[in-house]
Amino acid sequence: MKDKMRIALAQTPCKLGDKAENIARMRKMMERKEADLYVFPELYLTGYMVRDDIFRLAEGLDGDSVQAIMDLSEEHNAHVLFGMAAWDDELPGVLRNSAVMVSPDARVQRYDKINLASFGPFEEGFYFGAGNSGTLMDIDDHRIGVVVCYDLFFPELVRSYALSGAEAIVCISASPVTSRDFFEKLIPARAVENTAYIIYVNQVGTQLNQVFFGGSEAAGPRGDRIAKNRYFERDMNIIETSLSDLQAARRNRPTVRDTVSR
């Protein structure tokens, strides 16, 4: 197994309702630096604040947009994780707030957001059905757990991934500036609790009446910040996860071991 994995925190504004333009912006970010995995924010494909237009813009996983991103994945020999509004595969007419990962070998993996934000300015419950289970995704020989934004507030979901063998937890997000303080406290806490890498990639820019702060970041398995993207601007950092560093952290602070042994 390869010890290290390079992950790109690809923070770029999306154009509201314009999927073709957003895929073009993906391409530009992927051309900047090489990585094994490029991560884009929650509902990046359409933008977050499209409201009722989400039903017109949503696609299945066999749609044109996923195919276009699959072509990018093959071209760059890299995995691409991004947020989209995806129709449920088995329940006609049910929409999910999904994290989708495409791979160079044409595999498509998906996680449907379990904890929908339906309070304050958030209206996800009007549009989406909640997912019912986590999804452990494979990247070559590595495993990552994926959560979407508000999911990060629920430690049992993140812990379930760590107990299933995840080396990293990736959170794709559409968090406005009013939520910044919460996420910047949660990210190192989840890393320390689970001795796992936590990668957080947020929307950036203004959409209707919401200002998304960017500020994507990553924490190592001891809770130390290892990358921080700029606030309110397009930015991309590459982090390198290390399986040997993860194993050392878990020997020194054995939260995963001690949970399993109960």
What does the block give as tokens for 259?
Answer: 């949970």
- Ramachandran sector of residue 14 (left: φ over 0; alpha: ψ -120 to 50; beta: rest): beta
Whichever domain contains 169, its CATH number is 3.60.110.10
Q: What is the number of domains present in the chain?
A: 1
What does the block give as tokens for 158?
Answer: 């993140």
**Number of residues written out for the chain:** 262
Q: Which domain holds residue 116?
A: 4-260
Q: Give pLDDT tens digits along the chain (262 positions).
A: 789 999 999 999 999 999 999 999 999 999 999 999 999 999 999 999 999 999 999 999 999 999 999 999 999 999 999 999 999 999 999 999 999 999 999 999 999 999 999 999 899 999 999 999 999 999 998 999 999 999 999 999 999 999 999 999 999 999 999 999 999 999 999 999 999 999 999 999 999 999 999 999 999 999 999 999 999 999 999 999 999 999 999 999 999 999 976 6
- Give backbone dihedrals phi and psi of 151, rounded to 5 degrees, phi first: -55, -30
Name the pTM for this structure.
Answer: 0.98
What does the block give as tokens for 128?
Answer: 């989406």
